[in-house]
């Protein structure tokens, strides 16, 4: 079977393209941020004060390694972490004022680079792709 006929192969290649486009654009903007760090910041912008495990769930990232992602965001001054008042074992995380500023600055840039990721597709094809990909991802989270 040819690799281009395999969904897993194409998804991996598209992920590589997405990561490459994101990394290159952030570098051009002078921002030291990975796509996973951006996803974590996006989750925190929407759900300030949630715990690290919830961030992992929201961005579909491994719970065992989300701590490292948050550690890097804390070291950059973008995120603050504190012990939860409700559960002393949990760590609540939120964007710092600097993190909010950076997030608001790069949000339109990230929105703009989406077209670069799906370059070569018409607007209708992009809409179809997004609809189908969301259907798969949503089903995946509903089954969990």
- Which pTM value belongs to this model? 0.85
With 90 as the cut, is the pLDDT of residue 143 above it?
no
Using CA atoms, how far residue 92 sits from 7, 79, 84, 108, 125, in Å, is 37, 10, 5, 27, 40
pLDDT at 140: 56
Residues 6+ apart with CB under 8 A from 126: 115, 118
Token couple for 125: 């094809």
pLDDT in tens, 65-110: 899 999 999 999 999 998 877 777 777 899 999 999 999 999 999 9
In this structure, are residues 18 and 113 in contact, taking their beta carbons and an 8 Å threshold? no
């Amino acid at each position: 079977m040819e690799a281009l006929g395999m969904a897993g192969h194409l998804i991996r290649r598209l992920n590589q393209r997405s990561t490459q486009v994101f990394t290159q654009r952030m570098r051009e903007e002078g921002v030291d941020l990975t796509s996973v760090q951006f996803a974590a910041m996006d989750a925190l912008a929407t759900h300030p004060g949630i715990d690290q495990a919830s961030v992992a769930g929201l961005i579909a990232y491994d719970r065992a390694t989300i701590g490292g992602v948050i550690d890097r965001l804390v070291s950059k001054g973008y995120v603050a972490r504190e012990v939860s008042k409700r559960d002393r074992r949990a760590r609540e995380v939120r964007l710092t004022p600097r993190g909010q500023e950076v997030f608001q600055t790069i949000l339109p840039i990230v929105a703009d680079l989406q077209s670069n990721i799906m370059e070569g597709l018409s607007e209708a094809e992009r809409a179809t792709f997004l609809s189908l990909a969301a259907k798969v991802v949503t089903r995946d989270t509903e089954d969990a």
